[in-house]
Amino acid sequence: MNGFLNLLAQLFMAALLLVEVSRATRNVKKHYRTMTVVVVLNLFSILVIMVPSAIRILPRSQLSYFTAIVWVHLLFGLIVEVVGLYIVLGWYYRKNCIKYRGYMKPLAVSWIGSIISGIIIYYLLYV
């Protein structure tokens, strides 16, 4: 059940991400607030649901394509979350997002890639 709720939350955050990418230049403050909420919700999801699941899954698994997908998702997602937090904290403390503009589109694409790998893991575990 936690996996399904997390999947729905991730899809909702992905939808918010796509909407915000398309309108980031129109209202920067709203974009900042929305993306801050998304990054914080994603951090909560990682700490409460994903890390305990990874701890439960990985030690028992032998090296296989499934384990490789989990590791790639875990490392990729961690990098995406850390860079997302860096950008959000940079906005908060410097009040200037122009410095981070070059990171934003690659980060959005990477986040979507991480979500896709998470969907694959969900499918392999529960479907």
- Residue 21: pLDDT above 90? no
Amino acid at 17: L
pTM above 0.85, yes or no: no
What total number of domains does the chain contain?
Answer: 1
Query: 23 with 44: CB under 8 angstroms?
Result: no
Domain that holds residue 23: 2-126
pLDDT confidence bin for 1, thresholds 50/70/90: low
Distances (CA, A) of 64 to 28, 39, 50, 69: 44, 31, 19, 9
For the segment 43-75, what is each residue's pLDDT rounded down to a tens digit?
998 998 888 888 887 776 677 888 888 888 998
| Mean pLDDT for the chain overall | 83
Q: What is the pLDDT of residues 81-92, one digit of tens each?
A: 999 898 888 887
Helices vs. strands in the chain: H and E counts, helices first? 5, 0
